[in-house]
Structure 1
Amino acid sequence: MKIDPFILFLLAVVGLAYFFPGPAHVLPLDTLASAGISLVFFFYGLKLSPADIRSGLSNPKLHLVIQVFTFVVFPLLALAVKPFFSAREMWLGLFFLAALPSTVSSSVVMVSLAGGNIPAAIFNASISGLIGIFMTPLWMSLFLKAGGGDMSAIYLKLLYEILLPISAGLLLQKRLAGAVHQFRSFFTRFDRAVILLVIYNSFVHSFESGIFSSIPPGDFFVLCGWVLLFFGIIYGLIFLVAGQLGFNREDRITALFCGTKKSLVHGTVFSKVLWGGSAVVGIILLPLMLFHALQILIIGFIAGKYARNAS
């Protein structure tokens, strides 16, 4: 298996934030990140295909399983393990991970590789991103309010940084359809550049505030174990539910791959909207970054195995 170069970029950016924090104090990174977030969701609106969404409506049972696991079972599992965490920020990062939508591009690629239901994967990955705009802040509001977070300001930022750009993208779809197809690889690179920018800026603030010094080194390995356990539990539960509902091979693959994924793009941009430039963001993003690497490695391996079995 090949390691996704983007995972190496994530590690490199964290290292840069620790050893070279200077650019965060010289350049207007907060402003650049906010503009980048708006453009990410403008492009997301451009890429949303009404035809793919309409074609996906023919399999409601599959879609319901994926979305329920993404936005209900995952967060409830995180709530259940809260008593096992002594560091509130560490658990909050795990809960944030659990409340996020599914990722789009990698879900569709992996489902295609394994021989799953590609139209259903496109539908679920796309609709999950839209549902997440409302569901992720709603779940997080349970604890942000308790911590004194101003949810009215947060929802206002969601409106003008995310909802309005998506709406503009949807309105301009017909006029820019050719450009969307022509520059698809550019959109992917741009998404990743914004992710790296937000992570760099967040970790600079976290390192300089000394927030990681309050977390014992052993807790990092405990967190890795929790992330791995979360993935295994959700994957196993979806496998059992898909079997009980009589899903065929293609739908089972789609449920497993889409229902276990979490979007790093949405996670990084939502973290900036929900916590701004707070030093805690570095710890909040840590479980998501671990899960991102894990899901690519494990699902990539499973997808290859499905592909070999089908050939």
Structure 2
Amino acid sequence: MFAKYARRMAKDWFLAGMLGAVGLATLLPDLGASGGTLHADMLGNAGIFLIFFFHGAGISPESMRHGMSRWKLHTMVQLTTFVVFPLLWFGFRFAFDGLVPADLMLGFLYLCALPSTISSSVAMTAIAHGNVPGAIFNATLSSLLGIFLTPVIIALAAGAQGGALSLTDAMINIAGLLFLPFVLGQLARPWLGAFMARHKKKVNTFDKVAILILVYNSFCDSVLGGLWRDHGMDLLALTIGGAALILLVVLVLNTVVARALGFDKPDEIAAVFCGSKKTLASGVPMARLLFGAHPALGVIVLPIMFYHQLQLFVCSIMAERYARTMLQLEREGRDAAAGHAEMREPAAPAAMEAASR
């Protein structure tokens, strides 16, 4: 089974592109640095604007309304995303503060403050035969709330560890480059909605290319700032280990809580997947806005880059297992219904015989 998913990840050009962006930034940092030959920072800002414009044009208000009724599910997912994750970071910092460098610890804080991702949350829920409307509602709501809550969480927690982040500046940047294009996209939806639906794959490809430009620019700036001079392979090992630990804790916690609350299986699936995901598509652009002047921006985005790949790998395995469970439950339900029908069938001839006497 591991070989199967390893082959699937090997075919993922986006993963290869991220590794390539890091490698190219290591070899040619001056080319893609802010103000450099390629002006990657300007391209990145344009990409950020278009990503959120397309997201705004592509999200249907009807899908939001359709999934609103399951309030227990929604409350659990949003609390997990914006309360439980940050609290986990405080525990993570308490346990590993002396082991994890300060810049990487800030990256883990950023990971825990991010909203959920829309596309993979919905896709995994659909594969697992879960509550898809509920997943659409929660993932979309999380993305909207994250525009405002993520900088607040970062400002409060970074202040608690002695960092500095101007909440006012962050909100202005977020409003200008994330929320404004999203609203413009929603306003343009009557004209662009059908086009977005027809070209969803192309829009998704554009999102990934724009993210690769942002990753390349971020790492170019960080390499020039001494990323590999001051850190080695131990930084990558700590990032992978920390991301895997956080993902494991959240998946187990979400499963236990969903079952304790008496969720049916479709709602449990939506809660587990939506409540454990973190967005790379919004995470890298938002990092540029929140930490644009930070010399270690490349280190700060490392946790979400690795967490993104881990969540896809682990959740794809879980989705297929959930799907088998749901199919088994459906078969058992059909068999039970057929059994009840068979028990009722002999009664009809007996009643007819009695009536003819």
Choose from 146, 153, 158 the match for 1:139.
153
TM-score by length of 2: 0.84
Q: Secondary structure at the residue paired with 2:282?
A: helix
Give the number of the structure whose alpha-carbon radius of gyration is greater.
2
Which is worse superposed, 295-304 or 7-16? Answer: 7-16
Deviations 1:39-92 (A, max 9, x none): 111111111211011111110100111111011000110012213223211111
Matched, 1:178 2:194: yes
Deviations 1:221-254 (A, max 9, x none): 2332221111111111111111111111111111
Which residue in 2 is equivalent to 1:276?
292
Alignment map for 1:198-237 (pairs within 5 Å): 198-215=214-231, 217-237=233-253
Amino acid aligned to 2:104? M
Which is worse superposed, 147-156 or 75-84? Answer: 147-156
Choose from 282, 285, 292 the match for 1:266.
282
Choose from 271, 274, 286 the match for 1:255.
271
Distance in 1 between residues matched to 2:178 and 2:299, nearest whole Å: 23
Choose from 46, 49, 52 the match for 1:35.
46
Q: Secondary structure at the residue paired with 1:226?
A: helix
Which residue in 2 is equivalent to 1:9?
17
Which residue in 2 is equivalent to 1:56?
67
Deviations 1:162-208 (A, max 9, x none): 11111111111112222111221121011111110000000011111
Amino acid aligned to 1:77? L
Q: Name structure 1 gaps, 5 residues minimum.
A: none
Q: Is the 8 A contact 2:251 2:272 kept in 1?
A: yes
Matched, 1:19 2:33: no
Matched, 1:123 2:137: yes
Distance in 2 between residues matched to 1:50 and 1:125, nearest whole Å: 13
Higher RCO, 1 vs 2 (CA within 8 Å, ≥6 residues apart): 1
Q: Is the 8 A contact 2:115 2:150 kept in 1?
A: yes
Distance in 2 between residues matched to 1:150 and 1:100, nearest whole Å: 18
Q: Is the 8 A contact 1:212 1:283 kept in 2?
A: no
TM-score by length of 1: 0.95
Q: Is the 8 A contact 2:106 2:158 kept in 1?
A: no
Q: Secondary structure at the residue paired with 1:101?
A: coil
Q: Is the 8 A contact 1:202 1:279 kept in 2?
A: no
Which residue in 1 is equivalent to 2:105?
91
Distance in 2 between residues matched to 1:210 and 1:143, nearest whole Å: 26
How many residue pairs get aligned? The number is 311
Q: Is the 8 A contact 2:139 2:274 kept in 1?
A: yes
CA drift at 1:284: 0.3
Q: Secondary structure at the residue paired with 1:164?
A: helix
CA drift at 1:216: 5.2
Choose from 81, 104, 108 the match for 2:122.
108
Amino acid aligned to 2:109? F
CA drift at 1:277: 4.6
